[in-house]
């Protein structure tokens, strides 16, 4: 390459290889530090197209940003033929940091729009004559052909569904009416050079073509949406920048959103066909799928209209969610003052009906991340194979039972599979009554254990609240385990203090069970002392009870240091109930117990559960365990949880409203108070903080008897970066609220 530069262009310098699709690109750096790009194209290259590109570069010299220019060969040519038939060209090197290297800042959107606008304005006068390259695969005029050619490489039904949805809309566009001209045709993250948030250079005119004028803007928008929280807002900004140079006409405005999607779909379809390790493909492929996955489940007509409207400069009014639910349970509360319509999710993110991305810090159900590919694939395969009840033998169920038991202490050797946390606790209560012959059940104050009649009666969080008929005669309530608000249960004498209080409640009672969470969730993300918790166990057992550890919020690795929350303490339950995270959102729950308890329950009355343990649910349960193991999520919960707690504790130094930061792994509570000494719960502040964080893309909720505890229990794929983001947003929200 060095010799080509020297022999044909008279440029002596060092050669360093650069990435390229079809061409071989080399950077040539001379002794005085000047750089050039040497492009060697295969012998099949179109020489007329090269001439056309050279004329485009010449026309674009006048732009306010830097572009490469053609360096003529020593005999005055813009390209030279080499002995092997390939063709060499030399361009000046444009120095700078690409948009991609700068981390794709959303703040650059307006400048990206201006760049597209200035390109269109500059190239408008250029006459292309004949189509320079009549079948350019990146030309939006031929997107349908391109996608048809490469669609066979799409890997999954979901990928095909996404691309087909976009292409069906593309086919319906009135494209004949779109104005045409020469455009750069590839304003992508690797081709834009930035200084701060301003574009200062544009590279790679290799896809330049004569096509729809609006393609320049559509392509710039498509790439600008990658890896952004609010892609529609970004499109709005890019359009605003573009309009500083060029008017968008009505036909263009109507087509814009679908052409943006088409470019994204074309890009992933072509990428799917490539097996080469092309750097550029690796950078944009996943974010491109991500933004398509976010857009496709939304109301695309509404979004296309919204984009059309702000493209022509109308005030940006967000499309409203059309989802209402007048026929659905009026007693169900929705999160947030202005409820979210969530249409998709991926990993730690939830996406709303406008494809806006929110960091989900509260979804402890989608334990291994939203729409985890392994869980989704396993579930769909299982559904396509068999779903029936458990009156037949099927290998998935015993495999799941065995794997669950392997994570539990040896004395827990029997599993029942059910469909919800409530069903698990309901069955646990029946098991306990059968095993002890007693009827009375104890629970801990402020606890929640489920939505059935029995469990509401065992949930002080509910029966001491609105709409309740109060505590039943067969229920005993032990004091809350909270060492922050009840210091006696936090100190050295915690065992004795709690034991005395519990004995008092249980005096003269023949108890069937104590149902208790090792880390009470609804109670306010409490971390009890071993003393208090073991005193609750001992007092109940001395009253005849078996102990039910409700691990529905805390199980399967969430607490980091151990797989189950009760293992953080020196205690040993007789029954463990497992729910929320077990199916990653699929209804799957379980009860693990001892053979003795299970045998006592086997009294002639059959326990049959139509859906419990069906082959699909069991397969999903196995898939969730696979991911917890293969992605080492328990360890991640420990590491990230510790970092998060450290940052939150540091935050408490500056924010006196933070009374307490507590938790284990990725089960954390931030207790907000109006007076640190009196520990007065500040529910108003907690509400304001949660609403503010939501506005800034972070989803939190409140918990605890006074609704003043910010709870953080995200999917376990939460990263250190996510943790830092929560803390930043929380800090800002606390300052503002």
Q: For ligand PMP, which is the closer residue by CB, 45 or 590? A: 590
Question: Should residue 309 be labelled a site residue for ligand PMP when binding is judged by CB under 6 A?
Answer: no
Residue 153, class by beta-carbon neighbours within 10 Å (0-12 exposed, 13-18 middle, 19+ buried)? middle
**Identified binder of ligand PMP from the candidate list 110, 293, 367, 449, rule CB under 6 A:** 449
Report 528-567 residues binding ligand PMP (CB under 6 A).
550, 552-553
Phi, psi of 660 (to 5 degrees): -155, 140
For residue 470, CA distances in Å to 116, 206, 671 come to: 66, 75, 27
- Size of residue set near ligand PMP by CB under 6 A: 15
Tokens at 339, concatenated:
């409820």
Residue nearest to ligand PMP (CB): 421
* Residue span binding ligand PMP (CB under 6 A) among the ranges 36-44, 149-157, 421-429, 437-445: 421-429
Please give the helix or strand (H or E) that residue 70 lies within, else none.
Answer: strand 70-71
Q: For ligand PMP, which is the closer residue by CB, 552 or 620? A: 552
Q: For ligand PMP, which is the closer residue by CB, 234 or 591? A: 591
Question: Should residue 517 be labelled a site residue for ligand PMP when binding is judged by CB under 6 A?
Answer: yes
d(CA 705, CA 697) in angstroms, rounded, equals: 26
d(CA 263, CA 143) in angstroms, rounded, equals: 8
Question: Should residue 454 be labelled a site residue for ligand PMP when binding is judged by CB under 6 A?
Answer: no
Please give the helix or strand (H or E) that residue 659 lies within, else none.
Answer: strand 658-664
Q: What character string, x for contact with ligand PMP (CB under 6 A) and - otherwise, covers 318-357?
A: ----------------------------------------
Q: For ligand PMP, which is the closer residue by CB, 549 or 734? A: 549
* Residue span binding ligand PMP (CB under 6 A) among the ranges 59-67, 182-190, 323-331, 447-455: 447-455
Task: Count CA atoms closer than 13 A to 204's CA, side-chain side.
Answer: 19
Q: For ligand PMP, which is the closer residue by CB, 218 or 589? A: 589
* Residue span binding ligand PMP (CB under 6 A) among the ranges 41-49, 449-457, 612-620, 645-653: 449-457
Residue spans of beta strands (DSSP E) within 75-132: 80-81, 87-92, 97-98
The least distance separating ligand PMP from the CB of residue 579, rounded to whole angstroms, comes to 5
Phi, psi of 358 (to 5 degrees): -125, 140
Query: Closest by alpha carbon to 676, among 653, 654, 660?
Result: 660
Residue spans of beta strands (DSSP E) within 413-545: 414-418, 440-444, 475-478, 511-516
Q: For ligand PMP, which is the closer residue by CB, 321 or 540? A: 540
**Identified binder of ligand PMP from the candidate list 96, 450, 479, 612, rule CB under 6 A:** 450
The least distance separating ligand PMP from the CB of residue 188, rounded to whole angstroms, comes to 45
Question: Should residue 521 be labelled a site residue for ligand PMP when binding is judged by CB under 6 A?
Answer: yes
Q: What character string, x for contact with ligand PMP (CB under 6 A) and - otherwise, covers 462-501?
A: ----------------------------------------
CA dihedral 165, 171, 173, 176 (to 10 degrees): 160
Question: Should residue 702 be labelled a site residue for ligand PMP when binding is judged by CB under 6 A?
Answer: no
In the three-class reduction of DSSP (H, G, I as helix; E, B as strand; rest coil), residue 586 is classed as strand
Q: For ligand PMP, which is the closer residue by CB, 100 or 360? A: 360
**Identified binder of ligand PMP from the candidate list 347, 421, 581, 704, rule CB under 6 A:** 421
Helix and strand totals (H; E) in the chain: 22, 27
d(CA 120, CA 237) in angstroms, rounded, equals: 17
Residue 166, class by beta-carbon neighbours within 10 Å (0-12 exposed, 13-18 middle, 19+ buried)? buried
Question: Should residue 251 be labelled a site residue for ligand PMP when binding is judged by CB under 6 A?
Answer: no
For residue 192, CA distances in Å to 217, 278, 485 come to: 14, 18, 56
**Identified binder of ligand PMP from the candidate list 136, 321, 407, 425, rule CB under 6 A:** 425
Question: Should residue 525 be labelled a site residue for ligand PMP when binding is judged by CB under 6 A?
Answer: no
**Identified binder of ligand PMP from the candidate list 257, 289, 448, 601, rule CB under 6 A:** 448
The least distance separating ligand PMP from the CB of residue 707, rounded to whole angstroms, comes to 15
**Contact residues for ligand PMP (CB under 6 A)?**
420-422, 425, 448-451, 517, 521, 550, 552-553, 579-580
């Amino acid at each position: 390459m060095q010799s080509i530069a020297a022999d044909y262009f008279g440029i002596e310098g060092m050669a360093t290889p650069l990435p390229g699709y079809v061409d071989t690109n080399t950077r040539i750096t001379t002794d005085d530090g000047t750089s050039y790009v040497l492009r060697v194209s295969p012998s099949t290259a179109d020489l007329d197209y090269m001439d056309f590109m050279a004329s485009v570069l010449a026309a674009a010299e006048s732009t306010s940003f830097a572009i490469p220019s053609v360096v003529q060969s020593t005999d005055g040519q813009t390209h030279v033929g080499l002995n092997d038939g390939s063709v060499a060209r030399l361009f000046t090197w444009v120095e700078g940091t690409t948009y991609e290297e700068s981390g794709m800042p959303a703040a650059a959107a307006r400048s990206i729009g201006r760049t597209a606008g200035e390109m269109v304005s500059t190239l408008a006068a250029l006459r292309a004559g004949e189509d320079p390259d009549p079948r350019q695969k990146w030309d939006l005029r031929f997107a349908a052909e391109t996608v048809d050619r490469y669609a066979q490489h799409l890997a999954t039904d979901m990928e095909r569904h996404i691309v087909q949805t976009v292409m069906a809309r593309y086919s319906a566009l009135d494209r004949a009416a779109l104005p045409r001209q020469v455009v750069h045709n590839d304003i992508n993250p690797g081709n834009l050079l930035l200084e701060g948030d301003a574009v200062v250079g544009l590279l790679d005119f290799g896809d330049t073509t004569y096509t729809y004028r609006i393609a320049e803007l559509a392509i710039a928008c498509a790439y600008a949406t990658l890896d952004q929280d609010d892609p529609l807002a970004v499109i709005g900004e890019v359009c605003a920048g573009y309009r500083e140079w060029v008017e968008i006409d009505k036909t263009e405005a109507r087509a814009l959103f679908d052409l943006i999607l088409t470019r994204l779909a074309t890009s992933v379809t072509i990428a799917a066909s490539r097996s080469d390790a092309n750097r550029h493909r690796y950078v944009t492929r996943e974010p491109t799928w991500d933004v398509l996955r976010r857009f496709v489940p939304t109301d695309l007509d509404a979004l296309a209209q919204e984009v059309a409207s702000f493209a022509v400069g109308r005030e940006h009014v967000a499309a409203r969610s059309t989802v209402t639910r007048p026929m659905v349970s009026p007693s169900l509360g929705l999160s947030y003052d202005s409820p979210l319509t969530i249409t998709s999710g991926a990993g730690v993110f939830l996406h709303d009906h406008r494809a806006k991305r929110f960091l989900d810090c509260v979804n402890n159900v989608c334990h291994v991340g939203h729409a985890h590919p392994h869980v989704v694939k396993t579930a769909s395969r299982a559904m396509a194979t068999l779903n029936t009840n458990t009156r037949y033998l099927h290998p998935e169920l015993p495999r799941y039972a065995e794997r669950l038991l392997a994570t539990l202490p040896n004395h827990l050797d029997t599993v029942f599979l059910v469909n919800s946390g409530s069903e698990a606790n309901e069955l646990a209560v029946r098991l306990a009554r059968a095993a002890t012959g007693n009827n009375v059940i104890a629970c801990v104050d402020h606890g929640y254990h489920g939505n059935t009649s029995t469990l509401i009666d065992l949930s002080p969080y509910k029966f001491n609240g609105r709409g309740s008929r109060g505590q039943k005669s067969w229920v005993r309530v032990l004091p809350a385990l909270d060492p922050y608000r009840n210091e006696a249960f936090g100190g050295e004498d915690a065992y004795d203090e709690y034991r005395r209080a519990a004995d008092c409640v249980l005096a003269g009672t023949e108890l069937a069970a104590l149902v208790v969470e090792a880390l009470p969730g609804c109670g306010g993300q409490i971390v009890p002392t071993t003393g208090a918790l073991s005193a609750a166990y001992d007092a109940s057992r001395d009253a005849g009870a078996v102990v039910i550890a409700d691990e529905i919020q805390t199980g399967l690795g969430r607490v980091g240091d151990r797989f189950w929350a009760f293992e953080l303490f020196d205690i040993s339950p007789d029954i463990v109930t497992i729910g929320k995270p077990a199916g990653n959102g699929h209804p799957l729950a379980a009860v693990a117990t001892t053979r003795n308890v299970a045998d006592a329950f086997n009294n002639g009355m059959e326990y049959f559960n139509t859906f419990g343990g069906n082959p699909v649910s069991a397969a999903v349960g196995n898939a969730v365990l696979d991911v917890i193991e293969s992605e080492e999520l328990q360890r991640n919960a420990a590491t990230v949880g510790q970092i998060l707690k450290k940052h939150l504790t540091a935050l408490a130094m500056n924010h006196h409203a933070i009374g307490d930061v507590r938790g284990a792994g990725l089960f954390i509570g931030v207790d907000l108070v109006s007076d640190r000494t009196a520990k007065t719960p500040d529910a108003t502040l907690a509400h304001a903080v949660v609403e503010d964080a939501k506005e800034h893309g972070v989803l939190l909720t409140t918990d605890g008897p006074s609704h003043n505890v910010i709870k953080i229990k995200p999917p376990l794929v939460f990263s250190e970066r996510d943790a830092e983001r929560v803390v930043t947003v929380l800090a800002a929200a606390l300052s503002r609220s």
